[in-house]
């Protein structure tokens, strides 16, 4: 059985992961509006990954005999000044989620919940990848900032990421 503190914190993390998916879906819409279908595909994959993360937490709560509490999901931002601004926000958001995961690990250690601490280690490693992935795109966009052809090339590269399932994109 889960301690009530960790149960509440895990339910809040389900909400944070679902918000992440919403945020990335908002970015999908933004990139579609710009005609950057590769950027939209990349963010579609990212949104789907966040939904998988939410379900990992959801299922863990259930598996440990906890109670799921679905919280209201905040409306995400819908517009950005540029593709690089959107990816900078994605990178900052991943850093925020990393902080939340670290706080969960600290709480699990504090209350001596070794099973939850063990489960969270997957997310600790995952966040290293999440931050690096978003930052890589930020760095590429910064490099080609004054070269529109570079955006085209990055769009093609990002479009190669394979989503779990497809969503419509504007061509």
- Is residue 129 situated within a structural domain? yes
Look at residue 104 in the predicted model and tell me its pLDDT: 98
- Is residue 167 situated within a structural domain? no
Integer CA distances (angstroms), 124 to 23, 50, 60, 66, 116, in order: 21, 14, 16, 22, 12
Look at residue 95 in the predicted model and tell me its pLDDT: 98
- Is residue 97 situated within a structural domain? yes
- Is residue 121 situated within a structural domain? yes
Q: Tokens at residue 48, please?
A: 């789907």
Look at residue 119 in the predicted model and tell me its pLDDT: 98
Look at residue 162 in the predicted model and tell me its pLDDT: 77
Q: Show the domain range for 22.
A: 4-73+82-158
- Is residue 35 situated within a structural domain? yes
Q: Tokens at residue 71, please?
A: 């919280």
- Is residue 136 situated within a structural domain? yes
The ranges of the chain with pLDDT < 70 are 164-171
- Is residue 17 situated within a structural domain? yes
CA proximity to 159, closest of 56, 31, 54: 31
CA-based torsion, 22, 119, 45, 42: positive or negative:
positive
Integer CA distances (angstroms), 49 to 21, 54, 148, in order: 8, 9, 29
Report the CATH number that the domain containing residue 26 is assigned in CATH.
Answer: 1.20.1260.10
Q: What is the pLDDT of residues 24-69, one digit of tens each?
A: 999 999 999 999 999 999 999 999 999 999 999 999 999 999 999 9
Q: What is the CA radius of gyration of the chain?
A: 17
Q: What is the total count of domains within the chain?
A: 1
66 φψ region: left (φ > 0), alpha (ψ -120 to 50), beta (else): beta
Claim: this prediction has a pTM higher than 0.85: yes
Q: How far apart are CA 44 and CA 30, in angstroms?
A: 12
> For the residues of 111-161, what is the DSSP string, one character each?
TT-HHHHHHHHHHHHHHHHHHHHHHHHHHHHHHTTT-HHHHHHHHHHHTTS
Contact 119, 10 (CB under 8 A): no
- Is residue 171 situated within a structural domain? no
CA atoms within 13 A on the CB side of 70: 6
């Amino acid at each position: 059985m889960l301690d009530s503190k960790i149960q509440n914190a895990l339910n809040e993390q389900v909400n944070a992961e679902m918000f992440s998916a919403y945020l990335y879906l908002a970015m999908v819409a933004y990139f579609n509006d710009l005609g950057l279908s590769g950027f939209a595909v990349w963010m579609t994959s990212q949104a789907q990954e966040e939904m998988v993360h939410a379900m990992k937490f959801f299922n863990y709560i259930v598996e440990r005999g906890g109670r799921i509490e679905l919280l209201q999901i905040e409306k995400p931002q819908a517009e950005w000044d540029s593709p690089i601004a959107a990816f900078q926000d994605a990178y900052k958001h991943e850093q925020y989620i990393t902080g939340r995961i670290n706080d969960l690990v600290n709480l699990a250690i504090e209350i001596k919940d070794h099973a939850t601490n063990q489960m969270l280690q997957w997310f600790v490693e995952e966040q290293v990848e999440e931050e690096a992935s978003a930052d890589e795109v930020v760095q590429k966009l910064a490099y080609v900032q004054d070269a529109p052809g570079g955006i085209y090339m990055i769009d093609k590269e990002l479009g190669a990421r394979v989503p779990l399932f497809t969503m419509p994109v504007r061509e």
